[in-house]
Amino acid sequence: GLKDVNGNVIAAGTSFQGQIKDFGAGPVAINQAWWQGRGSASNSASYKQFVEDGSTTRLREATLRYSLNAKSIKFISKLSSIDFSVTGRNLVLWTKYTGTDPEVNISGAGLSRGQDWFTNPNTRSVLFSIQVKY
């Protein structure tokens, strides 16, 4: 027989509000259970078994810089200084959260209740720079 998204059988000849669709595994009733339950991709309900502690500690940004002043480089040229630096962003995340990243969610900043399916973690980046002063 026909089943709804929760596996409940809808007896033959029984009328219901909704549609019948086949997503490849046989017909399923697209009824109120679909729109309010776990089956719908547009469902915004959060279920208890999927709620986790999202507390974190993150090394958001760190910079290491080394400067060569005029005395240490005067044998090379008449430069006043050369600065070398490396900056890292989102280098380390300490959390027990099992999802991608507890700071991201399905609709960006806003009211999506922390749902993180189809999301990417925050970008990790490393930047190298050299600053030369004459």
Residues 65 and 126 in one domain: yes
Is the separation of the CB atoms in 60 and 89 below 8 Å?
yes
pLDDT digit string (tens) for 6-49? 778 888 888 888 888 888 878 888 887 777 665 555 555 556 66
Cβ count within 10 A of residue 123: 7
Residues 63 and 97 in one domain: yes
Residues 75 and 12 in one domain: no
| 113-117: Cβ within 8 A, 24+ apart | 113/44, 113/46, 114/46, 114/54, 115/44, 115/46
Token pair in block for residue 49 = 């078994």
pTM: 0.57
Residues 121 and 60 in one domain: yes
Is the separation of the CB atoms in 130 and 84 below 8 Å?
yes
Which structural domain range is residue 32 located in?
Answer: 2-41
Q: Would 50 be classed as within a structural domain?
A: no
pLDDT digit string (tens) for 79-108? 888 999 999 999 999 999 888 888 887 776
